[in-house]
Structure 1
């Protein structure tokens, strides 16, 4: 499993990063006192799919989103590919969204 430092520094392989994600899902589920069966029912995924995510880091993006929603972590996904903050006023003008809220 990838360490947080490996993930942050970008030295973790995609496989190790996904395994770490699965481990975090398992830890969050346990912290909430949910069984795999309960989380599977709440998220609409099968128990086998949840096991693949938790133990092997294998899942579709749709499954990850469904599980994140069921665990109350879906707002964390908003930051995944968030638009970077503007650094200069020229970037604001060039973006053409001056005065509009960023999403």
Structure 2
């Protein structure tokens, strides 16, 4: 569970991409041209954090980080290879209910 809100995450993503753009010495116009994302979309993203997934991926392709996002979202490998492994697993937590007052 994460304690960061969606709006905070959008803000942080836009700040990080803006910082990468500036470190590459790219203007908004330059990044928009290289990525194929409309300039107005890029400006809105840097100001408000709102952007489509496709446009975000296009920006990451230019400023870097696309592979990192793909790798972070890879599903974890299942820990069970057989039903015996499932039955042997002691990590399962039984449901608990709160007491009535």
What interval of TM-score do these two structures reach, taking the shorter chain for normalisation?
A: 0.7 to 0.9
Q: Structure 1: which 4+ aligned runs deviate by more than 6 Å? A: none
Q: Retained in 2: the 8 A contact 1:42–1:70?
A: yes
Matching of residue 82 in structure 1 with residue 66 in structure 2: no
Give the equivalent residue in structure 2 for 1:67.
Answer: 59
Pairwise CA RMSD: 1.7
1:53-93 CA distances to partner (integer Å, 9 max, x unpaired)?
A: 112110000110010001122111212421113434449xx
**TM-score between both structures, scaled by the size of structure 1:** 0.72
**TM-score between both structures, scaled by the size of structure 2:** 0.73
Give the equivalent residue in structure 2 for 1:56.
Answer: 48
Gaps spanning 5+ residues in structure 2: where? 84-101
Which has the larger Rg?
2
Which of residues 1, 10, 28 in structure 2 aligns to 1:18? 10
Gaps spanning 5+ residues in structure 1: where? 1-8, 92-103
> How many corresponding residue pairs?
83
